[in-house]
Homo-oligomer: A and B are copies of this chain.
Amino acid sequence: MYRKIKKRAFEIIQCADENDPESKRFDLFIVALIFINLVIAVVETFTVPYVLQQVITNIENISVIIFSVEYVLRVWTSDCLYEGLSPLQSRIRYIFSFMACIDLLAILPFYIPLLFPIDLRVLRALRIIRMFRLFKIGRYTDAFITIGKVFRSKASQLFSSVFVVGLLMIISAVLMYNVENTAQPDKFDNAFSGIWWSISTLTTVGYGDIYPVTVQGKLLSIIIAMLGIGLIAVPTGIITSGFIEVLNEEKQQIADVVDEKCYCPYCGHRIDE
């Protein structure tokens, strides 16, 4: 009986089976609650009347309770998740999985102030991470799978280009600090200001709060801005080639199915003649 309830709870909470109406309803309810929490996070940054503030606080409290219960249930039923592991090993592995960590981070800021009397302000923002659970729905749509596949297949190339960009960023930051520090000691006060400038330039954002004024600084900035074009072009090229690769693979799979019909696709002769 206990095992049966647990099995059912596992199916409803973890599986997200399309044909299981209770599981589907549960997922929709949780996502709706996350969405409401997101709207609240945006709304409470505005000055709202006292009554609405009360309603918001109540919804937040109820949400945290629901999310806490959900988290406990997920941990409890996680021994059905991994095959060939003991219940304890399964639970430890689940607790340290990426999605479980996010789930914990989403409810933790509510409990910490009960233990330590510290400021809630910055911690409250962490709650937004609940939103990432929305991706779980997307996990089952083809488009998300394709985009994910592209990033995974090109991970090493993307990481390499990010590495080169990171190196370029730090080198240009220290160079710019040395060049501009005497001319603008208040703006380029340390290497972090240089990094802030180099990111602003490499990504072509260019807020305009920090920029070189000396001729040498401007020459360096011109070189970095030109290389910033490469920063956009190289990952775009990598990602595009990934999309085309995935496209061709899908076509190949369709072609392979046709091939199984045992006819040469060009002559129309049977191969087993």
Report A's interface with B, CB cutoff 8 A.
38, 41-43, 45-47, 121-122, 124-125, 128-129, 131-132, 134, 138, 141-144, 146-147, 150, 156-157, 159-161, 163, 167, 170-171, 173-175, 177-179, 181-182, 190-192, 194-196, 199-201, 203-209, 211, 215, 218, 221-222, 225-226, 228-245, 247, 264-269, 271
Q: Is the CB–CB distance between B236 and A240 below 8 Å? A: yes
Q: What separation, in Å, do the CA atoms of A141 and B47 have in the docked complex?
A: 52
Assuming the A-B contacts A147-B161, A150-B237, A237-B236, are A191 and B38 also in contact, with contact meaning beta carbons closer than 8 angstroms in the complex?
no
| Residues of B with C-beta under 8 A to A177 | 45, 125
Q: Chain A: interface secondary structure?
A: helix
List 28 A-B pairs, Cβ < 8 Å: A46-B192, A121-B182, A124-B178, A125-B175, A125-B178, A128-B171, A131-B171, A143-B157, A147-B157, A147-B160, A192-B215, A192-B218, A199-B222, A199-B225, A200-B205, A203-B226, A205-B205, A205-B228, A208-B209, A232-B233, A232-B236, A233-B239, A236-B237, A237-B240, A238-B243, A240-B240, A241-B243, A267-B271
Q: Is the CB–CB distance between A179 and B122 below 8 Å? A: yes
Given contacts A47-B190, A125-B175, 17 further A-B contacts (CB under 8 A): A45-B174, A122-B179, A128-B170, A128-B175, A132-B167, A138-B163, A143-B159, A147-B160, A192-B218, A199-B222, A201-B205, A205-B206, A206-B208, A229-B231, A237-B243, A241-B247, A265-B266
Closest chain B residue, CB of each to CB of A138? B160
**A272 CB to nearest B CB, Å:** 8
Assuming the A-B contacts A222-B199, A225-B200, are A45 and B245 also in contact, with contact meaning beta carbons closer than 8 angstroms in the complex?
no
Q: What separation, in Å, do the CA atoms of A179 and B265 have in the docked complex?
A: 61
Q: Is the CB–CB distance between B230 and A205 below 8 Å? A: no
Q: Is the CB–CB distance between B209 and A42 below 8 Å? A: no
| Residues of B with C-beta under 8 A to A226 | 199, 203
Q: Is the CB–CB distance between A167 and B46 below 8 Å? A: no
Q: Is the CB–CB distance between A242 and B237 below 8 Å? A: yes
Q: Is the CB–CB distance between B199 and A206 below 8 Å? A: no
Q: What separation, in Å, do the CA atoms of A242 and B244 have in the docked complex?
A: 9
